Amino acid sequence: MGITKTDFMRGMQCRKMLWLDKHRPSLRVIPPEVQARLDAGNEFGDQAMAMFGPYEEMTVYRPGTQIPDKKKMAARTAEHLEMGTPVICEAAFIYYNNYCAVDILRKTESGYDVYEVKNAPEVREQFIRDAAFQYYIMNRCRLKVGRIHIVVHGPDEANPFVPVDITGEAKGLSGWINEHIWDLNRMQKSREEIEMAPGEQCKSPYECWYYGYCHGTGGTE
């Protein structure tokens, strides 16, 4: 496989992090509070699927597992795009083995608008880069993408899904994605472990799960 949105974001934070994900994932130490945050984010994302009413979800698991079958998801997505399904969730796309699954696609007169859901009170820079990766893959797969939104967690718990339009910023990063995606693809396949001195990238924008391994502490500090 090529790389996913998560791979791209992790590889851009630190190339060694992506390499370890691919070759030595057992070295990860995920702090419980981070896992809890990830779980809460998944729950918020699941609830957001219904924000536009009825929807079709594209998730397909490999038999007997909770591992998504990416090829089947992409094929199912292509069928629903062809049918003109109004709201498609977890819409999957593959471009030269690079993969993305988009939280929500909503049909418009000329194509589809995009909604990426984040369980955060405001849009952060890394969310825009995240959406830019999604746009790059969808655009290369020839989907007509209209507006792109990040759905943040607003203060009204009765109606917490607040879309923020980031179309210009996300589409404007296509060149940047193209500059790095192929290099990250090559790098992740390297047999040799990538050398990278620990530094600010170990904590920003996200604390690295290999902190203990690279700092020789056996855990995060």
16 binds ligand SF4 (CB under 6 A): yes
14 binds ligand SF4 (CB under 6 A): yes
Q: Which is nearer to ligand SF4, 121 or 219 (CB)?
A: 219
Rounded CA gap, 192 and 107, in Å? 45
18 binds ligand SF4 (CB under 6 A): no
CB of 26 to ligand SF4, least distance (A): 14
208 binds ligand SF4 (CB under 6 A): yes
Q: Which is nearer to ligand SF4, 20 or 87 (CB)?
A: 20
Strand order in the sheet with 112-117: 56-57, 87-95, 98-107, 112-117, 145-153, 161-165
Q: Which is nearer to ligand SF4, 59 or 126 (CB)?
A: 126
Q: Which is nearer to ligand SF4, 13 or 119 (CB)?
A: 13
Q: Which is nearer to ligand SF4, 32 or 216 (CB)?
A: 216
198 binds ligand SF4 (CB under 6 A): yes
Question: What are 28's two structure tokens?
Answer: 């990860």
Q: Which window, 11-19, 37-45, 108-116, 124-132, contacts ligand SF4 (CB under 6 A)?
A: 11-19
12 binds ligand SF4 (CB under 6 A): no
Q: Is 74 exposed, middle or buried (0-12, 13-18, 19+ CB in 10 A)?
A: buried
Rounded CA gap, 96 and 140, in Å? 10
202 binds ligand SF4 (CB under 6 A): yes
Query: Residue numbers of the site for ligand SF4 (CB under 6 A)?
Result: 14, 16-17, 20, 196, 198, 201-202, 208, 210-211, 214
